[in-house]
Amino acid sequence: MSENIIKIKITDREGKQHEVEAPTDMNFNLMEICQAAGLPVKGTCGGMALCASCHCYVLSNHELKEPSEDEEDMLDQAFYVEDNSRLGCQIAISNDIDGLEVQLALVDDED
Ligand code: FES
């Protein structure tokens, strides 16, 4: 396998776990990887930390980059926020997060 591929485990809102592979050299973020894997993550704002449709919980102990002010502001307004809440679009796919485990947060509406 290429060195530029990492594995991420994503638990969907039905509790089913998906192991997905993500390239680290294409500037993807976790929201985009969820979408590429066919998971129901809307990414309405296109990854600008403005919609929270990519809200997820980080289950593994990876040291992620601190959330930006924009991300924290958005999480302040989101539903079902927990201590381990992050916005998937603000998590860059890099070798540092190989083996990351996340769970998709519930969304407040399904329109
Ligand atoms: S895609 Fe909108 S906040 Fe992440």
Q: Which amino acid is at 73?
A: D
Query: Which of 87, 107, 108, when mutated, tests ligand 1's pocket best, judged by the most ligand atoms within 8 Å of its CB?
Result: 87
Between the CA of 52 and the centroid of ligand 1 the distance, in Å, is 5
Q: Whose CA is nearest to atom 3 of ligand 1?
A: 49
Between the CA of 61 and the centroid of ligand 1 the distance, in Å, is 22
Instruction: Quickly count: other Cβ atoms within 10 Å of residue 95's Cβ.
Output: 11
Per-residue pLDDT band for 107 (boundaries 50, 70, 90) equals confident
Q: What is the mean pLDDT of residues 61-86?
A: 97
Between the CA of 102 and the centroid of ligand 1 the distance, in Å, is 16
| 47 in contact with ligand 1, CB cutoff 6 A | yes
- pLDDT tops 80 at residue 111: no
Confirm if 87 and 54 have CB atoms less than 8 A apart.
yes
- pLDDT tops 80 at residue 2: no
Structural domains present in the chain: 5-104 (3.10.20.30)
Rounded Cα gap, residues 2 and 19, in angstroms: 17
pTM of the model: 0.94
For residue 43, which atom of ligand 1 is closest to its CA? 1
Tens digits of per-residue pLDDT, 3-55? 799 999 999 999 999 999 999 999 999 999 999 999 999 999 999 999 999 99
